[in-house]
Structure 1
Amino acid sequence: MDIYKDFKFKDDETPKYVQIANFIKDLIDKRKIKEGDKLETIRELSKKLGVNNVTIVSAYNKLKAEGYAYQKVGSGSYAKRKEVASNFRREYSNTLKKLSMEDLTDVVDFTGETSKEVLFPINDLKHIINEVLERDGANALFSDNRNGYTNLIDTINKAFWDYKLNNEDILIVSGAQQGIDIVSKGILNINDNIIVEKPTYVGALSVFKWRKVNLFEMPIEDDGINLDKFEKILQKNEIKCFYTMSYFQNPTGISYSLEKKKRILDLAEIYDFYIIEDDYLSELIYESSLEYIPFKLLDKNDRVIYIKSFSKIFLPGIRLGYLIAPTIFRETLQNSKHNTDITTSSLMQRALELYISDNKWKKNIKNLNDEYIKRYTLMKSLLDKEFKDILTYIDPKGGLNFYLTLNEDFRVNTRELFIRLRKKDVYITPGAMFFTSQNDGQDSFRLAFYQTDKKKIKKGMKILKEELISAKLYNESKLDN
C-alpha cells in the first residue's frame, strides 16, 4: 500500500518541503511509519510526489532537526517517534531533579548527577574567597576584562600551557556546557554538517539539535573513532566540525591514542574542518600507560577549539572553565560569549586564579585521584569477579565512570532496567541517553562512581546483579510460555 497516495499540496504559502515533512511526521505519529522504518530514498520520493530532490532533502533535514528521523551513513534516513525519546529523557531528568531534593542517605547514585558529595576542601574555599576580598575589596566583584579576569587567563596559560598560547585566544566561560553552546552559536549554522562520536555526551547533542545541524554519528572504538568510516564521511560531505572528548569520553570512558589524534588533525587540514575538543576530566588519569597529550597540544594548523571545565575538579555547582579559540574564530566566539551572559563571576574567577597560582590545585587533584582510584579499583574488581558472564566493558583507566554492555543472555532494555532499579533506590544512566536514536544503546548503561563511596558501590552493584539475573529469568519464562 502506498502511504503517500493521499498526500496533496495545500494552496497556501507553506513551503512544499514543510508540507512533506509535516505529512511524514503525521504518518510516524500514527504509526503508519514505524520506529526504525527506512524512509524512501530522495530520488524515489521526489518522483512519487512530483518535486525536485532538493525539496525532499530539505524535508528530511527538517524531520531530523525535529527528532522525527535519523541518518545512517551510507544507508539512508530512518523514522524515529519523537515522543519515545523525549518522554524517557523527561522522565529521567525529572527523576534526578526530584532525587536532588531528597535525603540521599540510602540512595546509590550511579548517575553521578546529584552533586551531593563534594570532595573539595570547603575551608580552603572560604580562606581563598576571604583572601581575595581582603586583597581586592570591591574590585573583586567587577571584571576588568570582558573575556575573563586578566590574571586568571595569564595563570591558565602559564600553569597548563607553559605560555605556548596567546592570552588573547583564551576566553573564560561558565563551564563546558556553556563553552559548547558558545561555539555552536558562534560558528554553526542551520544544516551545517558536524560529526559526533557514537555514543556521546547528551548535553552536546542537545546543543547541536537546537542549532538544527545535520549530525553524522561515528562509531567509537577502544582508542577513538573508526578512522576509515570517518574519512569516508569527509570524502562525501562538507563537514564543518568534529566534536570529541579526547580523554575519558562520556559515556564510554575511552581515551584517544596518539596516532589517531595526529591522523584526525591531518584530516582536519586536508578536508578543512575544525575539531571541538571537550576536555573535562583529563586530570583523573589512574594508570601511567595513559599520557596527557590533548589535540590542542598537537595543533600546528590552528584547527582545534579547546574547551576545559573546572566544575568537576574545582567545585561542583560553581561553573567555571575556559575556551581556546583559533585565531580565525577569536572575535566571533568572544561576541558569542558576550551575547550569552556578558561575563562570568569575577569573584569566583579570582578565587580560581589564587587556587591555581598558590598550587592548592595540585594538592586537591592528588587528593581527588587518591580517592577516585579507590572507587575505580573497587568497581572494576566487582565487574571482573561478579559480572564477567553478564556484561562487557572497556577499561577507562581513569575518569569517573564505566560504560557497560550486556551480554546476549542478559539482554534487557536498560530503560526498563533504570525503572526496576529506581524502585530499589539505585540509579543508573541508560545508554539510549547518549544516542540520537532511541533504537541505539538499549543494551548498554553507564555507572558513575562520582557520587558513591565504597560502601554504596558494593550495595548498588549487589542490587544491580540481582536485578539483571531476575530480568534474565523473567525473559526465559516468557520464552518458555
Structure 2
Amino acid sequence: MTTKYSGILEWVKQQIEDEKLKTGDKLPSIRLLAEQFQCSKNTVVKALLQLEKQHIVYAKPKSGYYVVDHFQVPITDDNDIDFLSAGPDKRIMPYEDFQHCMNQAIDHYKEQLFTYSEQQGLLSLRKELTKYLQHLQVFTKPDRLVITSGAQQALHILSVMPFPNGKKNVVIEQPTYFGMIDSLRLNQITTLEIELTMEGIDFEKLEKLFRTNDIKFFYIIPRCHNPLGHHYTNEEKKKIVALAEKYDVYIVEDDYLAELDTDSKADPLFAYEPNGRVIYVKSFSKVFLPGLRIATVVLPEKMISSFIHYKFSSDFNTSPLSQGALEIYLKNGMFQYHLESIKKLYIKKLKILIEACSLYLPNYVQFTKPKSGFYLTIFLPSHFDIDKMIYQLQEKHIYIDNASRMYLIKDKQQPAIRLSISQVNEHKIHLGIQQLATYIIEKHEKKTNNPFSFKSYH
C-alpha cells in the first residue's frame, strides 16, 4: 500500500510540474486513479487527502479534486554559497510541527479571525511569552507586553513616539542593524553614534553623549551583535544602565538572538533595571519563522497606552492567527525542542567560519571573532570597492553583504562585508572563504604590493 500511495502522490505532483494538470484542472476520479494504480479506492483517498493537506489540491463536494496552484519543487543551485541570507536555516525549520499549531489555532480562535483582536495582543500569548522570557532572565508580567508585527514595527514606533523624558534625540552603536538606521532616517530623527568594536565602546564618550545631547534613548544590541557579533559583559551592561539612570536616558534593548548566547550567565540589560528604564524587544524571526511576523516589546507601564495608540494607527492589530499558533507552539514544548537543535547547528557553523577565516584570509585583513550568533564582519583595505566585489563574487555563486548600510555615515567607515552563517551549508564554508580570500589577495596585489596595517577588530 505504501508504494501505491507514494506513487499517486508523485504522479499528481509530476503531472502538475509538467503542466499536464494546471491551476483549476480537475483530477481523474478516485475510481479511475484506483484502476490506474491497481489499488483500493481507500488508498487513493488517503493520497488525495495528503495532497489536500499540502495545499496542492482541494475538494469540491460531489464534484472531485482540483489543482490549487501550479506546484513547483523549489529550485536551488547546489553551487551557491550563501553568506548573505539572514533568516533561519531552511533545512531545520519546523514547518510540519508549526502547521499543526496553525490548524489548532484556526479551530481555537475562529471568532477572533473574523474580528479585530486585542490591540495589545492575545492575553493568552502574552502569558506564555511572560513564562518564556523568564528563561532569558526577563521577569515581567503580561500587562507590560505588547505584541507587534515583527521587531521592525516595534523599533519604528519607539523611534517616532514621545517618551516620558520629553527628549528627542537617539544614540545608536556604529555599526548597527540597518533597519533601525532606516527608521531613524525616514523619520528625520536626530541620531548620534557611539563606535563599537569587539573591544566594546568608549564609556567616557557615551556619558558625554548622554549628558550633552538631549537623548531620548540608546538603541543597543547587547549580544550576537548585527553585524559584528559583539557581546557586552554583564559589568558593561550595568555601567550602561547606570549612565542611563544618571542622565534620564531610556534604553531600547534589541535582544533578537538571545537564545543563541552560549554564556548561561549572561543577562540582558533589562535584568539590571526591570521597572522602566530598559525597553526590551524580542523577535522570533531569526530563530523561528520570519514570515510569522511576531515580536514582543516589554514597556514601562506609563508608555503602554501611547505605544498601543501608535501601533493601532499602523495596523490595528497583529494577526491573531499567527499569535494563536505561536502560543500553542510555545505551550506544547515544541519551541524549546526546536531551539536545542538550531543552537547546536549555528554554533557549529560559526566555529567553522572563524576557522576558515583564520586559515585563508591574508594578515592585512581583520575580522571579528564572535562567540555565538549569526554574523561575522570582515574589514578590508580602503581601496576596495565593495559593491563591485559583491557583483563579481555573485558570478562565482558566492553571496555576501555590504556592511556600509549598517553605518549611519557610510563614508566614514573602513570598507567591510558582513557574513552570515544562518543559511550557508556548513560543508561549503571553507570553499567559500577560500574563494573569497583568493579574490581579496588578487585585487590587493593588483593595487599595491605594500602591506596594510589596520586597527584590530578581533
Coarse TM-score class (shorter-chain normalised): 0.7 to 0.9
Give, as a single letter, the amino acid of the residue that structure 1 aligns with 2:205: K
- Give the aligned partner of residue 225 of structure 1: 201
In structure 2, which of residues 427, 437, 450 is the aligned counterpart of residue 465 of structure 1? 437
In structure 1, which of residues 419, 437, 442 is the aligned counterpart of residue 391 of structure 2? 419
- Give the aligned partner of residue 272 of structure 1: 248
CA distance in 1, matches of 2:362, 2:293: 38
| Percent of residue pairs bearing the same amino acid type | 28
Q: Is the 8 A contact 1:109 1:451 kept in 2?
A: yes
Bigger mean CA deviation after superposition, 117-126 or 345-354: 117-126
Displacement of 1:141: 5.5
Deviation digits for residues 113-158 of structure 1 (CA, Å, limit 9, x no counterpart)? 4778352121101211222233444445655421101100011112
- Give the aligned partner of residue 293 of structure 1: 267
Count the aligned residue pairs: 375
In structure 2, which of residues 92, 97, 111 is the aligned counterpart of residue 124 of structure 1? 97
Matched, 1:169 2:141: no
Using the size of structure 2 for normalisation, the TM-score is: 0.76
Matched, 1:351 2:325: yes
Bigger mean CA deviation after superposition, 308-317 or 116-125: 116-125
Matched, 1:253 2:229: yes
Q: Is the 8 A contact 1:142 1:346 kept in 2?
A: no
Deviation digits for residues 239-264 of structure 1 (CA, Å, limit 9, x no counterpart)? 11101111111111101111111111
* CA-atom RMSD in angstroms: 2.6
Displacement of 1:443: 2.5
In structure 2, which of residues 361, 375, 387 is the aligned counterpart of residue 387 of structure 1? 361
CA distance in 2, matches of 1:115, 1:394: 21
Q: Is the 8 A contact 1:387 1:465 kept in 2?
A: yes
In structure 2, which of residues 372, 396, 401 is the aligned counterpart of residue 398 of structure 1? 372
Matched, 1:443 2:419: no
In structure 2, which of residues 160, 163, 169 is the aligned counterpart of residue 193 of structure 1? 169
CA distance in 2, matches of 1:350, 1:181: 24
Q: Is the 8 A contact 2:168 2:215 kept in 1?
A: yes
Q: Is the 8 A contact 2:117 2:317 kept in 1?
A: no
Displacement of 1:194: 1.1
Give, as a single letter, the amino acid of the residue that structure 2 aligns with 1:175: G
- Give the aligned partner of residue 147 of structure 1: 120
Displacement of 1:320: 0.7
Give, as a single letter, the amino acid of the residue that structure 2 aligns with 1:218: I
Give, as a single letter, the amino acid of the residue that structure 1 aligns with 2:388: E
Q: Which runs of 4+ in 1 moved over 6 A?
A: 188-191
Deviation digits for residues 20-56 of structure 1 (CA, Å, limit 9, x no counterpart)? xxxxxxxxxxxxxxxxxxxxxxxxxxxxxxxxxxxxx
Deviation digits for residues 406-433 of structure 1 (CA, Å, limit 9, x no counterpart)? 3x5x962333322321222212112211
Task: Choose 1 or 2 for highest CA Rg.
Answer: 2
Q: Is the 8 A contact 1:190 1:213 kept in 2?
A: no
Bigger mean CA deviation after superposition, 114-123 or 196-205: 114-123
Matched, 1:311 2:253: no
CA distance in 1, matches of 2:378, 2:449: 25
Taking a change above 3 Å as real, the CA distance of residues 146 and 111 of structure 1, as seen in their structure-2 partners, is: same
Displacement of 1:453: 0.7
- Give the aligned partner of residue 79 of structure 2: 106
- Give the aligned partner of residue 191 of structure 2: 215
Give, as a single letter, the amino acid of the residue that structure 1 aligns with 2:317: T
| Runs of at least 5 residues in structure 2 that lack an aligned partner in the other structure | 1-73, 452-458
Q: Is the 8 A contact 1:245 1:277 kept in 2?
A: yes
Instruction: Classify the secondary structure of the residue corresponding to 1:204.
Output: helix
Taking a change above 3 Å as real, the CA distance of residues 164 and 450 of structure 1, as seen in their structure-2 partners, is: closer
Using the size of structure 1 for normalisation, the TM-score is: 0.73
Taking a change above 3 Å as real, the CA distance of residues 367 and 143 of structure 1, as seen in their structure-2 partners, is: farther
- Give the aligned partner of residue 360 of structure 1: 334
Matched, 1:325 2:276: no
Q: Is the 8 A contact 2:379 2:414 kept in 1?
A: no
Give, as a single letter, the amino acid of the residue that structure 2 aligns with 1:358: N
Give, as a single letter, the amino acid of the residue that structure 1 aligns with 2:194: M
- Give the aligned partner of residue 455 of structure 2: none
| Runs of at least 5 residues in structure 1 that lack an aligned partner in the other structure | 1-100
Q: Is the 8 A contact 2:230 2:370 kept in 1?
A: yes
Taking a change above 3 Å as real, the CA distance of residues 411 and 382 of structure 1, as seen in their structure-2 partners, is: farther
Displacement of 1:220: 0.9
